[in-house]
Amino acid sequence: MSMIHSSQLTFFAAHAPFDRMEPAHLLWMIEHMKMGYYAAGEIIVSPEQGAVDRFLVIKQGMVHGEQNVAHASDADTWLELAEGECFPLGALLANRSVASIYRAGADAFCYELPVADFHALIGMSAAFRDFCTRRIANLLEHSKQVIQAQYSNSSVEQQSLASPLSGIIRRAPVTCAPDTPVRQALEVMREQRIGSMIAADADGHPLGILTLHDVRDRIAIPQIDLDQPVINVMSTQLSSLPPQALAHEAALMMAKQGFRHVLVVEHGKLVGLVSEKDLFALQRVGLRQIGSAIRHAETVEMLQQSGADIRRMAHNMMAQGVAPEQLTQFISTFNDLLTARVVELECKASGLVGTPLHDGLCWLALGSEGRFEQTLNTDQDNAILFTVPEGMDAEQVRAKLLPVARRINETLALCDFPLCKGEIMASNPKWCMSLEEWKRAFSAWISGGSPESLLHASIFFDFRALYGAHALADDLRSWLARVAGENSRFLHMMAENALRNRPPLGVVRDFVVGKGNTLDLKLNGITPFVDAARIFSLAAGVTQTNTIQRLRSSAAKMNLHASEIDAWIDALLFIQVLRLRHHDEAHEQGTLDNLIDPEKLNELDRRILKEAFRQARKLQARLALEYHL
How far apart CA 327 and CA 325 sit, in angstroms, is: 6
Q: What is the pLDDT of residue 76?
A: 36
- 609 Cβ neighbours under 8 A, 6+ residues apart: 511, 525, 574, 575, 578, 598, 601
Longest Cα–Cα distance of the chain, Å, equals: 92
- On whether residue 22 sits in a domain, the answer given is yes
Q: What is the pLDDT of residue 67?
A: 57
- CA torsion 37→42→48→54, rounded to 10°? 20
Same domain, residue pair 233 and 366: no
For residues 426 and 409, the answer to whether their CB atoms sit within 8 Å is yes
pLDDT surpasses 50 at 277: yes
Average pLDDT, rounded, for the chain: 86
Neighbours of 226 (CB within 10 A): 15
Instruction: Please count the structural domains in the chain.
Output: 3
Segment among 144-158, 411-425, 596-610 with least mean pLDDT: 144-158
Q: What is the pLDDT of residue 507?
A: 55
Same domain, residue pair 227 and 371: no
CATH number at residue 415: 3.30.460.10
Same domain, residue pair 187 and 129: no
pLDDT tens-digit profile of 444-479?
999 887 887 888 889 999 999 999 999 999 999 999
CATH number at residue 125: 2.60.120.10
Q: What is the pLDDT of residue 292?
A: 81
- On whether residue 306 sits in a domain, the answer given is yes
- In degrees and rounded to multiples of 5, residue 389 shows phi and psi of -65, 155
Which of 117, 133, 149 is the C-terminal boundary of a domain? 133
Q: What is the pLDDT of residue 156?
A: 38
pLDDT surpasses 90 at 75: no
Same domain, residue pair 307 and 185: no
Segment among 134-143, 151-160, 262-271 with least mean pLDDT: 151-160
Same domain, residue pair 62 and 79: yes
Q: What is the pLDDT of residue 284?
A: 41
Q: Among 232, 235, 185, which Cα is nearest to 208's? A: 235
Q: What is the pLDDT of residue 70?
A: 35
Reduced to 3 states, what is the DSSP secondary structure of residue 374?
Answer: coil
Q: What is the pLDDT of residue 451?
A: 80
Same domain, residue pair 498 and 565: yes
- Gyration radius of the chain's alpha carbons: 28
pLDDT tens-digit profile of 255-275?
787 788 899 999 999 999 988
Same domain, residue pair 389 and 493: yes
Range of the domain at 91: 3-133
Same domain, residue pair 201 and 102: no
pLDDT tens-digit profile of 555-584?
999 999 888 898 899 899 889 888 888 887
State the average pLDDT over residues 240-251: 89
How far apart CA 220 and CA 209 sit, in angstroms, is: 17
Q: What is the pLDDT of residue 72?
A: 33
- On whether residue 253 sits in a domain, the answer given is no
Q: What is the pLDDT of residue 365?
A: 96
Tell me 522's DSSP state: I
For residues 172 and 150, the answer to whether their CB atoms sit within 8 Å is no
- On whether residue 529 sits in a domain, the answer given is yes
Q: What is the pLDDT of residue 229?
A: 96
- On whether residue 254 sits in a domain, the answer given is no
Q: What is the pLDDT of residue 232?
A: 94
Neighbours of 527 (CB within 10 A): 17
How far apart CA 575 and CA 613 sit, in angstroms, is: 9
Same domain, residue pair 532 and 439: yes
Same domain, residue pair 241 and 111: no
Q: What is the pLDDT of residue 111?
A: 96
How far apart CA 198 and CA 219 sit, in angstroms, is: 16
Same domain, residue pair 368 and 414: yes
How far apart CA 445 and CA 454 sit, in angstroms, is: 6
pLDDT tens-digit profile of 278-318?
776 434 445 667 888 898 888 888 898 888 888 777 777 77
For residues 273 and 169, the answer to whether their CB atoms sit within 8 Å is yes
Residue 1: pLDDT band with limits 50, 70, 90: very low
- On whether residue 258 sits in a domain, the answer given is no
Q: Among 556, 572, 352, which Cα is nearest to 468's? A: 352
For residues 331 and 375, the answer to whether their CB atoms sit within 8 Å is yes
pLDDT tens-digit profile of 342-362?
999 999 999 999 999 999 999
Residue 384 to residues 3, 155, 274: CA-CA distances in angstroms?
A: 71, 40, 38
- On whether residue 259 sits in a domain, the answer given is no
Same domain, residue pair 313 and 203: no
81-120: b or e for each residue (b if 16 or more CB lie within 10 Å)?
Answer: bbbbbbbbebbbeeeeebebbbbbbeebebbbbeeebbbe
Q: Which residue has the higher pLDDT, 206 or 589?
A: 206
State the average pLDDT over residues 598-609: 84
Q: Among 511, 624, 533, 531, which Cα is nearest to 578's? A: 511
Q: What is the pLDDT of residue 52?
A: 93
- On whether residue 257 sits in a domain, the answer given is no
How far apart CA 539 and CA 482 sit, in angstroms, is: 9
Q: What is the pLDDT of residue 4?
A: 58
Half-sphere exposure of 534 (CA within 13 A, CB side): 28
